[in-house]
């Protein structure tokens, strides 16, 4: 890493305790953890030296199918209506729990936050075995720059559930440039093109004298590597076959190195050439170049020194190809696009924990914030790309004569009507003295701090009455407490999801073995019927059981039941055969 | 403390933007809440940084800078005053454009571009008026500038 930054331990520099600075890139496909140790940035590796940990959780669907639940990041902070449209979650059942999306499993329904916290817990588990760091209890976590407040809040809840204090959420492209800028000791203006597994982000930053100033940011939270897999699946007519997505991914991966890829599925061979893939990928890549162009324009800089590629999906050679043909900028694809984000998060964690003042990240508000005015119009108070911390105010008045209450609905978005924006919360200003419409002077102020936490205040200026609220997102404090409580109560279940699956598999094996036994043993008809009935009953029960212990009890009972009866009958059989043998042979 | 004082700059509508940025960055490093050690300091730092960001956003933009400068020098305007200063031509220009956008004859992006050009040209006229100390022209152009700048923001 940059020596400039991490040689801050000069002899006269007194650091009482250097806290371990950890950064987590909680990705759609893979998660990465980086930390600062001895002024060096290191990646967390498991015993097999892996540094990329799949963001995958094993679940059993309501239909009893064991699957790997992937890309849960795409469901974070989404309403049920939004989540059910997710093209890569056709294999799971998403249910509506008071508007919130939950993932149904055979045991219970999980929020995306809970699933995400399980991924974090898995990372914690790996940490426990690492030699250098023993605790993963606080970290800077990265999110897509274009994540809304709801999506950010969901990420914070996931961290909380996993017992990790979130020092700050920082935007993925910003984190990437923080690490890249320091590693390569670059200066100037750069666009970061971040195409991950499920999200796409662009940020334009200016790097001068250790200050990383975000100039503009933009993105699409539903566009990433997953969508290229879907395009391939569609090409072969498998858009509704979830299992084919792995084949599509395999073809895509092979095409990063060769011009033609072949993969097998259900005994059939599927072939894809680079040219075919280019045609499939182009519409998706054109979406990204349009966003990139817009963001560069918004940054309003005299010149741009280059485009830095990050995110696993930029490993597809066509990304560089398309960018080179569309833009006249230097393309930097010399970083490891999969680990750079976590490294940047660790640098920011080090800055926040150990007060390293050599670097400073000046971030912006990524999505406009405002309120609903008459007719459902979205009135912006804090525009996007405004540097934070910031405070902005605007005056409003009442619509009706003698209006004594005023509801202020707070939204986030870039559309003109609130119905197309995200609702973040509301405040009600009551006790306005009766006045004709238009007379009250109500000042609404928004304060967005350096942690991107929003505080909204409404003051009636004639009387001085005021009301304020601190918002993190539409999930109110009570809601998030309820989620937390819910989750603590289910904590045992969370950890034991895997154990549960194991028990279920064991039970299924015993059931199967029992059936085999019944088929091969010549038992008296009455006994056989009795046993078959019992096995069927057990199998029925298995479908409704939600606790591991119940599964185990059932298995023990089945084993015992079989042992006794089989023993009895086996003895009888044995006796006859021995008797027979004796008659014949002895 | 006004924005110029905050950056320790001379009060003028012709600022050296590079110098402004250098000052902004060094003040950011000094006052950003991430660089402060104690919780007691934190709140003051947040307030200062908010003011710093606000000042920088204003001074780095030619149009906002000139409006701010004139307001500092006693040219303050109410909505009513701006309207009375606007000519029929200015209003018609905007209404015409808005109509053409509504009918789909002009693209919204082109409308934005046209307004941006209008804002730049009014800014130039305003600079001329300030330099020739023509008070009437200053008032007329400042009204225009505020009006078109607001319209631009509301696209």
- pLDDT 10s digits, A331-353: 999 989 999 999 999 999 999 98
Mutation target vs A (from B34, B49, B120; most A CBs, 10 A cutoff): B34
Q: Are residues A25 and A113 in the same domain?
A: yes
The parent domain of residue A460 ranges over: 369-484
Contact A447, A457 (CB under 8 A): yes
Q: What pLDDT shows up at residue A497?
A: 59
Q: Is B7 helix (H, G, I), strand (E, B) or coil?
A: coil
Q: How far is B134 from chain A (nearest CA, A)?
A: 33
Catalytic residue from among A113, A114, A172, A363:
A172
The arithmetic mean of pLDDT across residues A30-46, rounded, is 91
Search chain A and give the residue with CA nearest B45. A389
Q: Are residues A355 and A479 in the same domain?
A: no
Q: Are residues A436 and A543 in the same domain?
A: no
| A73 is a catalytic site residue | yes
In A51-135, at which residue ranges do the beta strands (DSSP E only) sit?
53-54, 57-60, 66-69, 93-97, 100-104, 109-110
Q: Are residues A68 and A165 in the same domain?
A: yes
Q: What pLDDT shows up at residue A9?
A: 36
> Is residue A38 predicted with pLDDT exceeding 90?
no
**Is the Cβ of B143 closer than 8 Å to some Cβ of chain A?**
no
**pLDDT per residue as tens digits for the range B65-99:** 998 999 899 887 777 777 788 888 888 888 888 88
- Look up residue B100 and give its two tokens: 């053409």
Q: Are residues A299 and A448 in the same domain?
A: no
User: In terms of Cα–Cα distance, which of A333, A330, A338 is closest to A317?
Assistant: A333
Search chain B and give the residue with CA nearest A209. B25
Q: Are residues A499 and A562 in the same domain?
A: yes
Number of inter-chain CB pairs under 8 A, A vs B: 46
For the ranges A4-8, A537-541, B142-146, the lowest mean pLDDT is seen at: A4-8
Q: Which secondary structure element, helix H or strand E, spans residue B31, and what is its range? A: helix B17-31
Rounded to the nearest 10 degrees, how much is the dihedral formed by the CA atoms of A212, A214, A218, A224?
10
Chain B positions in Cβ-Cβ contact with residue A449 (cut-off 8 Å): 33, 46
> Is residue A578 predicted with pLDDT exceeding 50?
no
Search chain A and give the residue with CA nearest B24. A211
- Hey, are the CB atoms on B49 and A351 less than 8 Å from each other? no
> Is residue A554 predicted with pLDDT exceeding 50?
yes
> Is residue A585 predicted with pLDDT exceeding 70?
no
**Is the Cβ of B128 closer than 8 Å to some Cβ of chain A?**
no
In this structure, the strands spanning A422-430 and A405-412 are antiparallel
Confidence class of residue A546 from pLDDT cuts 50, 70 and 90?
confident
CATH number of the domain to which A58 belongs? 3.30.420.40
Confidence class of residue A567 from pLDDT cuts 50, 70 and 90?
low
Q: How far is A390 from chain B (nearest CA, A)?
A: 5
| A246 is a catalytic site residue | no
State the complex-level ipTM.
0.83
The domain total for chain A is 3
Q: Are residues A183 and A118 in the same domain?
A: yes
Q: Which residue has the higher pLDDT, A320 or A455?
A: A320
Domain boundary among A362, A377, A397: A362
| A249 is a catalytic site residue | no
Name, in order, each residue with C-beta under 8 angstroms of A123's C-beta and a sequence gap of 6 or more: A24, A31, A33, A44, A53, A136
Q: Are residues A316 and A392 in the same domain?
A: no
């Amino acid at each position: 890493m940059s020596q400039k930054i991490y040689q801050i331990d000069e002899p006269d520099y007194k650091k009482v305790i250097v806290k371990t600075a950890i950064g987590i890139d909680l990705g759609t496909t893979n998660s990465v953890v980086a930390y600062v140790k001895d002024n060096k940035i290191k990646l967390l590796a498991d015993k097999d030296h892996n540094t990329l940990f799949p963001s995958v959780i094993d679940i059993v669907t309501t239909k009893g199918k064991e699957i790997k639940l992937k890309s849960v990041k795409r469901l974070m902070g989404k309403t049920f209506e939004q989540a059910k449209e997710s093209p890569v979650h056709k294999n799971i059942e998403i249910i509506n729990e008071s508007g919130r999306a939950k993932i149904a499993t055979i045991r219970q329904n999980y929020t995306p936050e809970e699933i995400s916290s399980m991924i974090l817990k898995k990372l914690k588990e790996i940490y426990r075995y690492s030699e250098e760091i023993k605790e993963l209890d606080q970290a800077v976590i990265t999110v897509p720059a274009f994540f809304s407040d709801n999506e950010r809040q969901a990420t914070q809840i996931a961290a909380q559930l996993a017992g990790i204090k979130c020092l700050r959420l920082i935007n993925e492209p910003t984190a990437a440039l923080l690490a890249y800028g320091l590693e390569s000791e670059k200066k100037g203006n750069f666009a970061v093109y971040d195409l991950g597994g499920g999200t796409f982000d662009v940020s334009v930053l200016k790097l001068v004298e250790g200050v990383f100033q975000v100039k503009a940011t933009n993105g699409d939270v539903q566009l990433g590597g997953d969508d290229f897999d879907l395009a391939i699946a569609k090409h072969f007519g498998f858009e509704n076959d979830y299992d084919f997505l792995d084949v599509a991914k395999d073809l895509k991966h092979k095409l990063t190195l060769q011009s033609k890829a072949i993969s097998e599925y259900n005994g059939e061979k599927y072939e894809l050439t680079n040219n075919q893939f280019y045609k499939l990928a182009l519409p998706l890549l054109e979406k990204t170049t349009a966003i990139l162009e817009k963001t560069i324009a918004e940054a309003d800089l005299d010149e741009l020194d280059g485009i830095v590629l990050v995110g696993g999906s930029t490993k597809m050679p066509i990304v560089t190809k398309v960018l080179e043909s569309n833009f006249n900028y230097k393309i930097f694809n010399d970083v490891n696009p999969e680990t750079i984000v976590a490294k940047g998060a660790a640098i920011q964690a080090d800055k926040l924990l150990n007060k390293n003042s050599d670097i400073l990240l000046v971030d912006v508000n990524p999505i406009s914030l405002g309120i609903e005015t008459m007719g459902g119009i979205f009135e912006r108070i804090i525009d996007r790309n405004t540097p934070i911390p910031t405070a902005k105010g605007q005056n409003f008045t009442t619509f009706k004569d003698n209006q004594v209450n005023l509801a202020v609905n707070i939204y986030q978005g870039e559309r003109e009507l609130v119905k197309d924006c995200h609702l973040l919360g509301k405040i009600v200003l009551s006790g306005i003295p009766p006045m004709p419409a238009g007379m009250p002077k109500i000042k609404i102020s928004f304060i967005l701090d350096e942690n991107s936490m929003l505080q909204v205040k409404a003051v009636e200026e004639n009387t001085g009455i005021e009301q304020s609220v601190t918002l993190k997102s539409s999930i109110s404090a009570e809601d998030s407490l309820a989620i937390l409580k819910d989750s603590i109560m289910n904590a045992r279940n969370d950890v034991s999801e895997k154990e549960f699956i194991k028990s279920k598999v064991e039970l299924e094996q015993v059931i199967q073995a029992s059936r085999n036994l019944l088929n091969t043993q010549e038992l008296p008809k009455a006994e056989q019927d009795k046993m078959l009935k019992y096995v069927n009953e057990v199998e029925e029960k298995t479908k409704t059981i939600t606790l591991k212990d119940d599964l185990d009890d059932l298995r023990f009972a089945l084993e015992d039941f079989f042992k006794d009866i089989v023993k009895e009958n086996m003895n009888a059989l044995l006796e006859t055969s021995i008797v027979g043998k004796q008659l014949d042979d002895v | 403390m006004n924005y110029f004082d905050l950056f320790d700059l001379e009060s003028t509508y012709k600022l050296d933007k590079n110098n402004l940025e250098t000052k902004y960055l060094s003040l950011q490093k000094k006052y950003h809440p991430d660089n402060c050690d104690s919780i007691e300091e934190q709140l003051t730092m947040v307030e200062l940084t908010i003011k710093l960001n606000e000042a920088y956003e204003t001074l780095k933009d030619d149009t906002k800078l000139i409006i701010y400068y004139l307001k500092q020098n006693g040219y303050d305007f109410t909505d009513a005053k701006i309207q009375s200063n606007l000519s029929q031509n200015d209003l018609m220009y905007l209404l015409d454009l808005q109509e053409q956008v509504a009918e789909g004859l002009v693209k919204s992006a082109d409308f934005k571009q046209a307004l941006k050009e209008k804002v730049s040209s009014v800014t130039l006229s305003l600079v001329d008026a300030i330099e020739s100390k023509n008070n009437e022209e200053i008032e007329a152009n400042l009204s225009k500038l505020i009006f078109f700048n607001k319209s631009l923001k509301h696209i």
